[in-house]
Amino acid sequence: ALRLVAQRHEVDQVLAPLRLSRDDLKRVQGLMRREMDLGLGQETNATASVCMLPTYVRNTPDGGEQGKFLALDLGGTNFRVLMVEVGADGIRMASESYVIPTAVTQGTGEALFNHIMECIMDFQLKQDLGDQVLPLGFTFSFPCQQLGLDKAVLLTWTKGFSASGCVGKDVVQLLREAAQRKQHLGLKVVAVVNDTVGTMMSCGYDDPKCEIGLIVGTGTNACYMEEMHNVGTVEGEQGRMCINMEWGAFGDNGCLDDIFTDFDLVVDKKTINPGKQRFEKLISGMYLGEIVRHILLALVDKQLLFRGKPCPKLQTNDIFPTKFLSTIEIDGLGLRKVQAILEDLELQASFEDSMLVREVCQTVSKRAAQLCAAGLAAVVEKMRQNQGLDQLVVTVGVDGTLYKLHPCFSQHVQQTLKDLAPKCIVTFRQSEDGSGKGAALVAAVACRGV
Ligand code: ADP
């Protein structure tokens, strides 16, 4: 029994740095708020880790949008091409998914955009679109310096992309050049849209209170409607503009260093962008499984798991995907299911082992959800103060498989947010196909404007 107590103590020591107190979260909230203010200021923008990018989207939908549009969605797991018909009686969509091989996402920009054009042409053929030139909204979910709705200079790749010759270029121009190479004349790009913005817009079509977009999938990011007079980086004082926060990069300037654990440092070091997207690497689907894997290895190393037996398969990068966390954490799921997952990794798990693996998963996903909530708390509190309200009622449009499929992630986000921002009544609405619908809605609003 004494040995068990000692073991429990050692496990707690390993996991303690991953357990955040309310004070920790309050501090993260405050830091996020500070970074937001720095990012919005013209003089201070360059020093902020959250770059608060203007999107040139000035309104959420009013429900009166109409027309037929093409939409592209690049930046998620798959590349998609969609046709979206916005009508008086709602939105109809048709879409195709296309795999972009890693060799292409990490090859040359020319090859990447050629590939995209080939997919568009394939889609137009399949949909029998003939020579119809439809306005196109391009959901491009990487950080861009937007100079207008249809002009977006790529600042940096994230989420495993690294195609050469694209950073510093206008992605609309890159697409148009690819169209020329393919002698495709009917391309009319009217808007570049971040997926957070698409998500906000698509939820906003059904809910006028939706003024925040949140993604927790492969990566994480958020956007919200800001008052123009607070946006120092764009001319004009009137009205509002949606700001793409690019909050995945929060902490890249070192302000979160005491939150990072040794496990986070190892995971970061092995990515193709070490030192970058540090907040994202604590939260999103591309990384949580890896964090868990490294904790498990450390526990084995300390003889606290699997009786200290070496686990060669567990040494393999990415062998423990984030969807395992969802399966393992499902409430009431027999531990046999956990054992089965571990068996596939050639791990013989005892009852205690399975319990501990579950605890590790819970600790990592809870931390992720709470950090996400701390970020959101900074956003809703800023919006409340902007409007001089005692109480803000607002909706967050959300997308991303981790948020949608994990058994407790969304609950943890909502509970923690309630605690950190008690003056805000926040509703979460899951978007369906926000990237596609949202891009079309931005295009629709844009076309109505001309
Ligand atoms: P994207 O953000 O690229 O558009 P998704 O929203 O589908 O794509 O998110 C993909 C991420 O979700 C992957 O990193 C994957 O690890 C994670 N994921 C997939 N299935 C699950 C699941 N059942 N539970 C939690 N995370 C999952």
Q: Pick the atom of ligand 1 nearest to 215's CA.
A: 2
> Which residue's CA is minimally distant from atom 26 of ligand 1?
402
Backbone φ and ψ of 362, nearest 5°: -60, -40
ipTM above 0.90, yes or no: yes
For residue range 133-173, list pLDDT tens digits in order. 999 999 999 999 999 999 999 999 988 899 999 999 999 99
Q: What is the pLDDT at residue 36?
A: 98
Q: Are 36 and 29 in contact (CB under 8 A)?
A: no
Q: Is 218 in the pocket of ligand 1 (CB under 6 A)?
A: yes
Among all residues, which ones are annotated catalytic?
A: 80, 141, 195
- Going from the Cα of 285 to the center of ligand 1, the distance in angstroms, rounded, reads 5
Domains in the chain (CATH in brackets) are 2-52+214-430 (3.40.367.20), 67-206+432-445 (3.30.420.40)
Q: Is 217 in the pocket of ligand 1 (CB under 6 A)?
A: yes
> Which residue's CA is minimally distant from atom 17 of ligand 1?
285
Region 174-184: mean pLDDT is 95
- Going from the Cα of 9 to the center of ligand 1, the distance in angstroms, rounded, reads 33
For residue range 339-366, list pLDDT tens digits in order. 999 999 999 999 999 999 999 999 999 9
- SS3 sequence, 13-65? HHHHHHCCCHHHHHHHHHHHHHHHHHHHCCCCHHHCCCCCEECCCCCCCCCCC
- Going from the Cα of 318 to the center of ligand 1, the distance in angstroms, rounded, reads 13
- Going from the Cα of 270 to the center of ligand 1, the distance in angstroms, rounded, reads 20
Residue 294 has pLDDT above 70, yes or no: yes
Q: Is 404 in the pocket of ligand 1 (CB under 6 A)?
A: no
Q: Is 323 in the pocket of ligand 1 (CB under 6 A)?
A: yes
Whole-structure pTM value: 0.94
Q: Is 232 in the pocket of ligand 1 (CB under 6 A)?
A: no
Per the prediction, the chain carries an average pLDDT of 95
> Which residue's CA is minimally distant from atom 9 of ligand 1?
217
For residue range 353-408, list pLDDT tens digits in order. 999 999 999 999 999 999 999 999 999 999 999 999 999 999 999 999 999 999 99
Q: Are 229 and 202 in contact (CB under 8 A)?
A: no
Give Cβ neighbours of residue 356 (< 8 Å, ≥ 6 apart).
Answer: 11, 299, 304, 305
Long-range pairs for 116-121: beta carbons < 8 A, 24 or more residues apart: 116/72, 116/74, 116/79, 116/175, 116/178, 117/175, 117/178, 117/179, 117/181, 117/182, 117/184, 118/182, 119/79, 119/81, 120/70, 120/72, 120/81, 120/184, 120/187, 121/182, 121/184
Token couple for 172? 């609309």
The dihedral formed by the CA atoms of 125, 194, 322 and 288, expressed in degrees to the nearest 10: 160
For residue range 242-277, list pLDDT tens digits in order. 999 999 999 999 999 999 999 999 999 999 899 999
Q: What is the pLDDT at residue 333?
A: 67
Q: Residue 450's pLDDT band (boundaries 50, 70, 90)?
A: very low
Q: Pick the atom of ligand 1 nearest to 284's CA.
A: 14
Q: Is 341 in the pocket of ligand 1 (CB under 6 A)?
A: no
Longest dimension (CA), the chain: 78
Question: Of the residues 72, 142, 292, 401, which should be mutated to test ligand 1's pocket, given the most ligand atoms within 8 Å of the CB?
Answer: 401
Residue 52 has pLDDT above 80, yes or no: yes
Q: Is 124 in the pocket of ligand 1 (CB under 6 A)?
A: no
Residue 84 host element (H or E) = strand 79-87
Q: How far apart are CA 257 and CA 75, in angstroms?
A: 28
Q: Is 286 in the pocket of ligand 1 (CB under 6 A)?
A: yes
- Going from the Cα of 217 to the center of ligand 1, the distance in angstroms, rounded, reads 5
> Which residue's CA is minimally distant from atom 2 of ligand 1?
217
